[in-house]
Structure 1
Amino acid sequence: MRAVAQDADRTVLRSRSEVLSVGELADRARRVAVALGRRGVSAGDRVALVSGNSIDRVVWMFGIWWLGAVEVSVNVELRGPMLAHVLTDSDPSLIVCQDGLLEQVRDAAVGDVLPMSALTAEPVDRVAREELDAAQRGFGPGELATILYTSGTTGPAKGVMLPRAYFSNLAEVWTDRLGLSADDIGYFPLPFFHVDGHVQLTACLQSGGSMAFRERFSVSEYFTDVSRFGATWATGVGSMLSMLAQAELPEPVPRHLTRLVGAPVPQIAYETFEDRLGIPVLTLFGQTECDGIAMDSAEQRRRGAAGRTHEAIEVQVVDANDRPVPVGETGEILYRPRGPHLTALGYWRRPEATVEAWRNLWFHTGDSGHLDAEGFLYFDGRRTDSFRRRGENISVWELEHSLNLAAGVRECVAIAVRDEHGGEDEIKVFVVPEGEALVLEEFIEHCRKVLPRFAVPRYLTVTDGSEFIRSAGTGVVQKHLLSRDITSPDVMEVPR
């Protein structure tokens, strides 16, 4: 609303087929808000939004917020039990879906699913607009705005509750660390349903710049898009940066591109983009619970670090008893905000998990790392049973639970195999058959049917389970003792 008052005609969103001004975004979002209200949605109700990257998706997101309702941001790659869990656990008043995803959503949903194209959104008259805007000014910064699901470690994915001011406050951190201004155009090839999309768009809106985006990441089109949009900064995850660094590089280099932002940053990305092309590479350490715990700036960056700590968030590294460890020593990464509404409110309908994560007045990330004397944070691995692949967090509990439903399977155990090039995880699964009933081709097809693409295992080993060493009492497999080898004859690489 402030941006509209300052300059309603300035561009805020750019796609390959459409440009949207701040004023147009506001008008279309108000239409969605009114139409949702007519369907019985009110402030505080959850609206599940299942959509890929598009201007319409952004309009719907702001329309939900304008009404005071809660956006449940659903990963479009989910299907089967994982998707059903999100759509059930969030208890939405309405499920809204991109038309092309209707089949997979209807298969997983209980109740009606509204195609995005089915909502008739008439122009909003002056009286209705003034009522909407007056209500908007009355919503508090700590009220719930969005629920984003993140991988669980001992159970299904948890809904992370983000307050209304979370995006704006963290966008100020991004703006400061990246030095954003009205002259900047950010290129975003990642999914909008992630927290990064929410924060980056808000940073562009608040700094006076704009955000260009693509429907889906493309190696061959990345720098073409950067040139087409005149992007001054761009984002990516480790696997993306690795693929881009090994692809055919642009000639000439787009001189307007002055910052690449990503995490984790593989060494080849530094060598290619900084050393060869002269484009500074900045990294950040973030989670859905706080998207910018540590973050580089152009003046403060260090290769190999996950970002530099800053004034908004206090970070420390502790031992098993939550006591700070010396500089340079590895422990669990903890953080807490130095101001309100910079972190999540907690986990949706999981008060015990919320209290456990925030014990001793610090949020426990479940990640190992260390700090150096100058405040740079280094990521040393995950302590929790989850993977990160293609920029997505994967609950190992959910993965194994889904695979154990396959015909002919007695047990599946999944471990991470490090991808040294992309700096992320590949997935290796040990499959224990139920007698002679397992048909490997059918198992692979089951994986593709019930799992999102990023969670489909890359490596399989069929075993009788004799190499599993289990904890006394619990029977939990000691995964750190399992082989990470992917070259032996008993390891099958799943065709892509």
Structure 2
Amino acid sequence: MAEEYCRASHARADALEVSIPSAARTLPALLEARVSDAPDAVMLQMDGASLTTTGLREQASRLAGLLVEAGVAPGDRVAMISANRLDFVPLLSAISWVGAVAVPINTASRGDQLHHIFQNSMAKLLIIEAALLPNLATVDRSDLALETIYVLDAEGADLPDGAQPMPEPGEPIDAVAVKPADPIAILYTSGTTGVSKGVICPHEQFFWWAITTGRQLGIRPGDVLHTTLPLFHTNAINCFFQALVFGGSQSLSERFSVSKFFEALKASGSDVTYLLGAMVPMLLSRPEGPEERDHSTRVALAPGVPAQFHDEFVRRTGILLLDAFGSTESNNVIQTEADILRPGMIGRITKGFDARVVDEFDNEVPDGTSGELLLRADKPNAFAHGYFGMPDKTVETWQNLWLHTGDRVVRDGEGYYRFVDRIKETIRRRGENISSYEVEQGVLSHPSVSTAAVFPVASELAEDEVMVAIVLKEGATLDPEALIRHCEDRLPYYSIPRFVDIRTELPRTENGKIQKFKLREEGVTDTTWDREAAGVTLRR
């Protein structure tokens, strides 16, 4: 059954790849084609409201007219600070309609980081939600290129100097002739070192995101693709392009909610959904209930789910979990499919891409040996074009004509890849390199633990000590020493955490990613349990 499902999925994706020529792999061209095929089909839906393909094109063309009236020209950058909302995609489409470049900004950005994004992108126009104006208040705008600020939902808001309510859309205009290699967006990613880098994403990159992900998920015409992930990140924009290319519709939630997730799946009529690794144990931490099966969702793209949660999630929800590896700079390059499921493995290399696992000198290492993952695409514009205004960082990441991911992986003899760690997140303790990811898996295998984040803290000697911050499942209790004894059977002695901090929640980004840098900055606190101070001796 799984093989038949995958064959049909591959056939649909291959047919689209052949039938859509490169010149038509832009947002305006894909939208025009979708309107031609199904003018009255629902394209977007959120909170009971919807927009058809024709309605989206109408809004995009009229908002584009407004942008032209505001002086936006091809190549200009237009910044957006907004949570998920029904008019986000029309705004994104309008920006591409005039040949400009969207700069969707993380709604958590403020201060120096937000100033850097404005300064680096040289955005002339900002469209911002009134509720997020306090973010803008943290930025000194005196040295920025910003000329115009439009505020969404401005009624009753205290607008800062230079801001005005979002004007009514202008007269509809024809789309500018954009090329598949032209940038559609600059997406800022926060690295482990240095300032955020603006990834230059061409239109055709998102076409390939749609093809590779749609093939993996088995997306069919008419499918509803529901996402709770933010539209300022690659994943949710990719979801929109999957709907556009495969003839589905995108359903949005404003944000991820553990208590309302399955309710949203049911209300939207979702066939496909999208999760991040941390979200699955969060959902499983709730008491099991009938709402977990009361929906029509058949599959979820869920990169990074710890292996021990796969079977339980599928049993409780009936939703197939498929892993994958991709980044803002690359594409859906490694993936599992229904017929090659191996929980804990991110999958095999995707059609159209190549991968190598290398040592610090870019020499390929044998299967079974960990090393950095390098990637390359067979097709033009399937990857990003570098970092905006940062040629040195572009050369560094794409050295030797391979994209250096900064991720440590292991490839086995059958071509399956296993994620080990971010290279810069490896913990060095007394001569041993420790993978924070692998320690997290050992901690998460304890039945009382819902979420875990492992990170280094300063040692009294040299190098690092291992610390873990955990959130327990609802109603659970756990003695830190019991957690350490649990880990002794699952981890090398040198990687077992010395420090344990039990919390009610962990700091997260708007996208649900744990902010380890905040945990590292806090370090050992008064609430932290210290294994050595408690006199607990490890077996060796």
**TM-score, normalized by length of structure 2?**
0.72
Task: Choose the corresponding residue for 1:295, options 316, 335, 348.
Answer: 335
**Structure 1 residue 249 displacement after superposition:** 3.5
Q: Is the 8 A contact 1:426 1:457 kept in 2?
A: no
Amino acid corresponding to residue 321 of structure 1 in structure 2: F
Q: Is the 8 A contact 1:35 1:119 kept in 2?
A: no
Task: Choose the corresponding residue for 1:325, options 335, 341, 365.
Answer: 365
Aligned to 1:181, what secondary structure does the other structure show?
coil
Amino acid corresponding to residue 359 of structure 1 in structure 2: Q
**Structure 1 residue 457 displacement after superposition:** 2.6
Q: Equivalences for 1:362-381 in 2 at 5 Å?
A: 362-381=402-421
Deviations 1:77-98 (A, max 9, x none): 1122222211221110111111
Deviations 1:419-438 (A, max 9, x none): 54477746676699xxxxxx
Amino acid corresponding to residue 55 of structure 2 in structure 1: E
Task: Choose the corresponding residue for 1:119, options 120, 142, 166.
Answer: 166
1:190 matches 2:229 = yes
What corresponds to 2:84 in structure 1?
53
2 CA distance for matches of 1:424 and 1:13?
35
Amino acid corresponding to residue 57 of structure 2 in structure 1: A
Amino acid corresponding to residue 62 of structure 1 in structure 2: S
Q: Is the 8 A contact 2:265 2:295 kept in 1?
A: no
Label 1:386 to 1:14 Cα distance change in 2 as closer, same or farther (>3 A).
farther
Q: Is the 8 A contact 1:301 1:308 kept in 2?
A: no
**Structure 1 residue 100 displacement after superposition:** 0.8
Deviations 1:298-333 (A, max 9, x none): 122211111321112111111222122122221110
In the alignment, structure 1 segments of 5+ residues that lack a partner are: 388-414, 433-450, 464-484, 492-496
Deviations 1:176-200 (A, max 9, x none): 1111111321110111111001111
Label 1:145 to 1:489 Cα distance change in 2 as closer, same or farther (>3 A).
same
2 CA distance for matches of 1:371 and 1:275?
29
Q: Equivalences for 1:332-481 in 2 at 5 Å?
A: 332-384=372-424, 419-420=440-441, 421=444, 425=453, 455=515, 457-458=518-519, 460-461=522-523
Q: Is the 8 A contact 1:245 1:268 kept in 2?
A: no
Task: Choose the corresponding residue for 2:530, options 484, 488, 495.
Answer: 488
Label 1:229 to 1:155 Cα distance change in 2 as closer, same or farther (>3 A).
same
Amino acid corresponding to residue 488 of structure 1 in structure 2: D
Q: Equivalences for 1:28-177 in 2 at 5 Å?
A: 28-108=59-139, 110=141, 111=146, 112-117=148-153, 118-122=165-169, 124-125=171-172, 129=173, 132-133=174-175, 135=176, 138-177=177-216
Q: Is the 8 A contact 2:40 2:52 kept in 1?
A: yes
Label 1:10 to 1:84 Cα distance change in 2 as closer, same or farther (>3 A).
same
Amino acid corresponding to residue 151 of structure 2 in structure 1: P
Q: Is the 8 A contact 1:428 1:458 kept in 2?
A: no
**Structure 1 residue 385 displacement after superposition:** 5.4
Aligned to 1:384, what secondary structure does the other structure show?
helix
**Structure 1 residue 353 displacement after superposition:** 1.2
Amino acid corresponding to residue 124 of structure 1 in structure 2: E
Q: Is the 8 A contact 1:296 1:307 kept in 2?
A: yes
2 CA distance for matches of 1:97 and 1:204?
26
**Structure 1 residue 384 displacement after superposition:** 2.6
What corresponds to 1:467 in structure 2?
none
Q: Is the 8 A contact 2:65 2:170 kept in 1?
A: no
Task: Choose the corresponding residue for 2:296, options 236, 244, 256.
Answer: 256
Label 1:250 to 1:231 Cα distance change in 2 as closer, same or farther (>3 A).
farther
2 CA distance for matches of 1:166 and 1:280?
26
Label 1:379 to 1:336 Cα distance change in 2 as closer, same or farther (>3 A).
same
The alignment of Structure 1 onto Structure 2 pairs a total of residues equal to: 418
What corresponds to 2:55 in structure 1?
24
1 CA distance for matches of 2:300 and 2:425?
30
Aligned to 2:214, what secondary structure does the other structure show?
helix
Q: Is the 8 A contact 1:78 1:452 kept in 2?
A: no
Task: Choose the corresponding residue for 1:9, options 37, 40, 43.
Answer: 40
Aligned to 1:177, what secondary structure does the other structure show?
helix
Aligned to 1:225, what secondary structure does the other structure show?
helix
What corresponds to 2:239 in structure 1?
200
Q: Is the 8 A contact 1:430 1:462 kept in 2?
A: no
Amino acid corresponding to residue 273 of structure 2 in structure 1: A
Label 1:385 to 1:373 Cα distance change in 2 as closer, same or farther (>3 A).
closer
**TM-score, normalized by length of structure 1?**
0.78
Q: Is the 8 A contact 1:237 1:264 kept in 2?
A: yes
Deviations 1:122-164 (A, max 9, x none): 4635xxx3xx23x2xx211111111011123442111111011
What corresponds to 1:282 in structure 2?
322
2 CA distance for matches of 1:124 and 1:17?
28
